[in-house]
Amino acid sequence: MSELSRGVLVTGVGAPPGLGTLRSLKQADSELKLVAADINALAGGLFEPGTQSAVLPSAADAKAYRAAVRAVCAERQLDIIIPGSEAEIAALAPVARDWTADGLRVPVADPDVVAFGIDKGQLLSRCAERGLPCPVTLQPEHEADLDAWSGGFPCVIKPRTSRGARGVSYPESLTALKETWRETQAAHGPCIVQTFIPGGAETVYTIGSLWNRGELVVSTLHRKLQTNPPTGGVAVAGETVDDPELMKAGLAVLEASGPWHGLAAVEVKRPAPGEPAYLLEINPRMWGFGYLMTLAGLNVPELLVRMLAGAEHLDGHIPSTFPPYSAKRMVRTWQDIEIPSPPEGET
């Protein structure tokens, strides 16, 4: 690995996708130069042993963010960037091809494809056009549009662009739906309304995937066992799954919205075995439980670095079995890390 890259910048290390990527790469090759980055100077991943660290500005200012990333990569002599958040991916997508051509490899899809991983409304419209299973969905522009809702109650209202369970509510009447829509619209912007799909965290599955300019390299499947909050959000426990039909359903969504490049994951919800798997969203990055696959024998971040060095470097590194990973469970827990004290006079 250290012979295939001068060094890798892994961002978003204060959250599971970035931290899992960082730890997977450390496990693959302790000699590979890794720089952990986050916008929070106290993000836990910045203090991972054996890694360098960098603090980046928010990707909300795309120009400033890109300038800071280029500066870190030039100063630390890095040639690969693995972004860990949607905002960072959106900032890098417009320049990814040019930077890659210049020798700074950025495994991110083109902006029009990345948009499907950021805007749930756009994604649901595309998949509905292709006949893929989606919840009954309404995309209201005005409060009066809610009178057309026919998907029953309780329903789900969520922002078109959000992460985790932010802004998600479950109104139980039309009156409550209108009130919730006003609040959510004001706080988070345009919303969608969907039929409530029954089932707990264990009915939510993630199909993770690695792509090389539209060509599938490998795919994975796991499901949540527990989330925080329990009604839906960040997974705190999960397990690998072997289910070809669910895998096929997730990849159909990615194929309908591609061509993808780099990492992308689809979340679907299947109320019970034998029922359709309904689309929830795409995350255009490493999925939160990516490290689960490393534990199960499939180190996806390592494969990503190998892919960027040339497809020939993947030979012999993807198991020939299906699925290409073993049965494994994982639970997230706190880890207390001592960090350096700030210089005198700083806080």
**Per-residue pLDDT reduced to its tens digit, 188-229:** 999 999 999 999 999 999 999 999 999 999 999 999 999 888
For the beta sheet containing 137-138, the strands, ordered from the edge strand earlier in sequence to the opposite edge, are 137-138, 191-195, 155-159
210 and 167 housed in the same domain: no
Position 338 in a domain: no
Decide if 28 is inside a domain: yes
Whether residues 155 and 242 share a domain: the answer is: no
Task: Please provide the average confidence, as pLDDT, over all residues in the chain.
Answer: 95
Q: Is 224 part of any domain? A: yes
Looking at residue 335, what is its pLDDT?
85
Q: How would residue 165 be classed by pLDDT, with cut points 50, 70 and 90?
A: confident
Paired residues of 211 in beta bridges: 216, 262
Distance CA 125, CA 170 (A): 22
> 315 and 210, same structural domain?
yes
How many structural domains comprise the chain? 3
Stretch among 12-26, 62-76, 154-168, 305-319 having the lowest mean pLDDT: 154-168
210 plus 311 within the same structural domain:
yes
pLDDT above 70 for 318: yes
| Listed residues 108, 128, 152: the one ending a domain | 108
Q: How many secondary structure helices (H) and strands (E) does the chain include?
A: 10, 13
Tell me how long the chain is.
Answer: 347
Statement to judge: residues 91 and 168 lie in one domain: no
For residue 346, pLDDT over 80 is answered with: no
- Tell me the average pLDDT across 34-54: 96
25, 147: one domain: no
| Domain boundary pick from 195, 210, 240 | 195
Whether residue 149 is predicted with pLDDT greater than 70 in this model: the reply is yes
pLDDT band at 235 (very low <50, low <70, confident <90, very high): confident
Does residue 164 surpass a pLDDT of 70? no
Report which secondary-structure segment, H or E, holds 125. Answer: helix 120-129
Residue 15 lies in a domain: yes
209 and 182 in a common domain? no
Band (pLDDT 50/70/90 cuts) for residue 186 is: very high
Band (33; pLDDT cuts 50, 70, 90): very high
pLDDT at 7: 98
Let me know if residue 249 belongs to a domain: yes
147 and 250 inside one domain: no
On the question of pLDDT at 85 being above 90, the answer is: yes
Q: At what angle do helices 300-309 and 16-28 cross, to 10 degrees?
A: 70
d(CA 14, CA 84): 9
Q: How many other C-beta atoms can be found within 10 angstroms of the C-beta atom of residue 170?
A: 16
Range of the domain at 33: 8-108
**Mean pLDDT for the stretch of residues 219-247:** 91
Do 215 and 300 sit in the same domain of this protein? yes
pLDDT at 344: 77
pTM: 0.95
Average pLDDT over residues 51-60: 98
pLDDT(231) > 90: no
Residues 18 and 36 in one domain: yes
pLDDT confidence tier of residue 347, bands split at 50, 70 and 90:
low
pLDDT for position 342: 84
How far apart CA 67 and CA 135 sit, in angstroms, is 41
Residue 122 maps to a domain: no
In a domain, 33, yes or no: yes
Give pLDDT tens digits for 269-281. Answer: 999 998 999 999 9
CATH number at residue 174: 3.30.1490.20
pLDDT confidence band for 43 (50 / 70 / 90): very high
Q: Mark whether 218 and 309 lie in a shared domain.
A: yes
CATH of the domain at 65: 3.40.50.20
The answer to whether residue 237 is domain-embedded is yes
Residues 184 and 207 in one domain: no
